[in-house]
Amino acid sequence: MSRLPAAQRKEQLLDRASELFARHGYARATTAELAKAAGVTEPILYRHFDSKRDLFVALIERAGRRTISMWEKHLASSGDPADRLKRLLGDNPMVTPDGRHDYLVLLQAITEVDDEAIHAAINTTFHNLHQFLKKELERAQSDHKVATRFSAELIAWLLIHIGLGYGSLSALKIEGQGVDASGTHVQDVLTRLLIGKAADRKGEE
């Protein structure tokens, strides 16, 4: 068993836990299985996390940080509010190779929301995602790229609702969901509804 710096070992444990929870579920996975999957002993696991619940909470918090980091990276090269919003609409972490396991874990939290620590982590994570989207929408509205009939606050929640729905159906492997016979995707519809013809012009540049 190789020795890793504490921070690197903690990330490794989170990676293995994410994969294990995604396959077997939070309730069924044991700390013994988590330790075995990471190639460590249970005492080493408990050196980094006090319990399976603490590890689950850490995964929820990491999923939120990773999502915002991914969005920031994809937006870094664009200063145009309409283009930035279009990029966000195409960035659903629930269906990316890197984010899929994280969000499968988040979906499992539905059965654990009566646990105060898990509920607090979920609540904070989604409010952080909402605030990020809200700021981008406010920026687009200030630049007259998005209509102000509805508040940025409400539209941001709408995007989260739609993103979770699409991601959940993808996780359930529903064939053909989110696209029609012409090849038009729900993301295309959202982009056109929010940004209008500015989205088309940006795509032609």
Global confidence as pTM: 0.89
* Inside any domain, residue 7: yes
Both 110 and 159 in one domain: the answer is yes
Copy the structure tokens of residue 118: 């898990």
**Angle of the 31-38 helix axis to the 52-75 helix axis, nearest 10:** 50
Q: Is 30 left (phi over 0), alpha (psi -120 to 50) or beta?
A: beta
* Inside any domain, residue 57: no
pLDDT at 14 over 90: yes
pLDDT at 22 over 80: yes
* Inside any domain, residue 139: yes
Both 86 and 167 in one domain: the answer is yes
The secondary structure of residue 96, as a DSSP letter, is: S
| pLDDT for position 124 | 97
Higher pLDDT: 111 or 198? It is: 111
Both 74 and 136 in one domain: the answer is yes
pLDDT tens-digit map of 97-107? 777 888 888 88
pLDDT at 202 over 50: no
pLDDT at 108 over 70: yes
Residue with tokens 């989207």: 133
> HEC profile for 30-46?
CHHHHHHHHCCCHHHHH
Number of domains into which the chain is organized: 2
| pLDDT for position 101 | 82
* Inside any domain, residue 54: no
Residues 21-32: what's their mean pLDDT? 89
**Angle of the 52-75 helix axis to the 116-142 helix axis, nearest 10:** 10
> What does the alpha-carbon distance between residue 69 and residue 128 come to, in Å, rounded to a whole number?
12
| pLDDT for position 205 | 43
HSE at residue 197, side-chain half, CA atoms within 13 A, is 0
Both 45 and 66 in one domain: the answer is no
Tell me what percent of the residues of the chain surpass a pLDDT of 70. 95
Dihedral sign for Cα 69, 25, 166, 194, please: negative
CATH number at 136 reads 1.10.357.10
Tell me what percent of the residues of the chain surpass a pLDDT of 90. 65
> What does the alpha-carbon distance between residue 171 and residue 129 come to, in Å, rounded to a whole number?
20
Both 39 and 99 in one domain: the answer is no
pLDDT at 175 over 70: yes
* Inside any domain, residue 20: yes
Range of the domain at 2: 1-49
